Amino acid sequence: MAIDMNVFRGFAEQIKMLPQMARPTDCPDNERVNHLKAVFSTKIDASNATQLESCVHCGLCAEACQFYIQTEDPELTPIHKLDLLKRYYRREKAPLRWLHRLIEPDITEADLEATQHLVYESCTECGRCGLVCPMGIDIAAMVHVTREGLAHAGLIPAGLRAVEQEQGSRGTVFGVGPDQLRQAAEELRAKGHEVPIDKAKADVLVLTSTIDVLLFKDALEATVKVMNHLGLDWTIHSCAFEGANFGLLSGYSEVQKSASERITSQAIALGAKMVIVPECGHAYPALRWAGANAHGAPLPFEVMALSEFLGREVMAGRLQLNPIGTGKHVTYHDPCKIGRHGGVFDEPRAVLEALGVDMREMPSNRTANFCCGGGAGLFVMEKAEPMRNAAFDLKRQQVEATGADSVVTACGSCRINLMAGAGRTQWTTPIESLVELVGANLK
């Protein structure tokens, strides 16, 4: 399961070029604050209100944040990242807004620019801070609301904006569209795999991602092998194969909705009973939890993360695996968006158990797992590199504390960030894909 490191380096170079590819935003400078306020106005609800009103500034959230733990910079305190939203709430929505308007200054464009770094390049929306807050403040959710406000104010960081613009205008990500998908399918067919593309009807719509098409081709191949091994009536659709949703990551809700609806409408047209999301962390909540709200109604099909699907099949006895051997010690990195934000914990561990490996949990695992540092689009933000590195160093400590021979995960972005960190620090511990392990050990 070797990864072509030349492709990996090329991918990293492509990411560095993204800021130059971003088009200027269409939001005039003098309209930014109004655009932000318009978004905040629609997003503030009873949940945000009670949570913003409950903060006692205890600072515990900092003690859960990987970026604060690694840097000890008070600026990175998670609740501080909500100052902009909180000020809007106090002046415009709070029951005591008449009082706050007397004592708190209005939001300025400079405030927006000062917040951009905090909510984009210094937060992966991993949600770990919410676990420690005694008031139960879901800071990650409100960081996302702030991102949405800034996105509509034209302040998405350039690298992330370039990909969001591409997905919004052309429907492709990193230039990967139907042609590149078909080419990848041809390569798999040449290896003897049946790859159904664009079937008119199918029970299962399988999504993939640009990362798998370009870089982690073995993950795509393993996915194809599993689907065929299980004898499912499945297809990949060239008009709706991309699981990644850069509208969600950037906070640009129109692109989020269109990307999500492209999949939903195709799944409905296929008569699909299930949509399987690839090893791409945020793609899961983008469809599983936000997809129905983008659609405006419950989805008429089941949405499963690939790791969730594999685990379910293993637990049901439909998917049997050859044991790798107890001599292999592995630890599992829970992708935040699939684990803490998605509830998928037991299934990947069931797969690893079926593979017969010696599973060793990290000191902080499952719900309390530390993010890889590349989530929420940080892996395409150039200025986020110090934060990504800081998070990787912490994750490396966590992995090494287990004594595991390798770290397994079920998210391409996590793999990229871990691989980048490993390359930077000459860390030799293999970073493996769950589906690749399954694909290589089908019984």
Partner 1 sequence: MSFTAFVDGPFWYFSATVFLIGVLWRLVGMLSMGSKPDFSTPRKSGTAAAIGINLTRFFPRADFWSRIRLQVVAGYLFHLGLFALLFFAAPHIEFYREYITGFGWTALPEWAFILVSEIAFLGLMLLILHRMLNPVTRAISDRGDYIGSLLIFLVMLTGCLALARSHEVLRVTHFFLAELLLIYFPFSALMHTFTFPFSRGFMGAHYGRRGVNV
By CB under 8 A, name the binding residues for partner 1: 44-51, 53-60, 62-64, 68-69, 72, 74-75, 77, 79-80, 93-96, 99, 130-132, 134-138, 141, 288-293, 295-299, 302, 339-343, 364, 367-368
| DSSP category for residue 234 | E
Least separation in angstroms between residue 94's CB and partner 1 is 7
Q: Which two tokens stand for residue 283?
A: 């793609």
The b/e string for 96-110 (b: 16+ C-beta within 10 A; e otherwise) is eeeebeeeeeebeee
Looking at beta carbons only, is 74 or 323 nearer to partner 1? 74
Backbone φ and ψ for 370, nearest 5 degrees, come out as -80, 140
CA 246/CA 377 separation, integer angstroms: 8
Looking at beta carbons only, is 343 or 430 nearer to partner 1? 343
Up-side HSE of residue 53: CA atoms within 13 Å toward CB? 16
Least separation in angstroms between residue 383's CB and partner 1 is 22
Looking at beta carbons only, is 79 or 438 nearer to partner 1? 79
CA 173/CA 351 separation, integer angstroms: 30
Least separation in angstroms between residue 295's CB and partner 1 is 7
CA 358/CA 157 separation, integer angstroms: 42
Looking at beta carbons only, is 109 or 111 nearer to partner 1? 111
Least separation in angstroms between residue 346's CB and partner 1 is 10
Looking at beta carbons only, is 214 or 263 nearer to partner 1? 263
Looking at beta carbons only, is 32 or 341 nearer to partner 1? 341
Tell me which residue of 215, 159, 150 sits closest to 15, measured CA to CA. Answer: 159
Beta bridge partners of 208: 242
Looking at beta carbons only, is 36 or 294 nearer to partner 1? 294
Q: Which two tokens stand for residue 284?
A: 């899961």
Least separation in angstroms between residue 307's CB and partner 1 is 14
Let me know: does 127 contact 336? Beta carbons within 8 Å: yes
Backbone φ and ψ for 27, nearest 5 degrees, come out as -95, 115
Least separation in angstroms between residue 95's CB and partner 1 is 3
Least separation in angstroms between residue 174's CB and partner 1 is 28
At position 390, the amino acid (one-letter code) is A
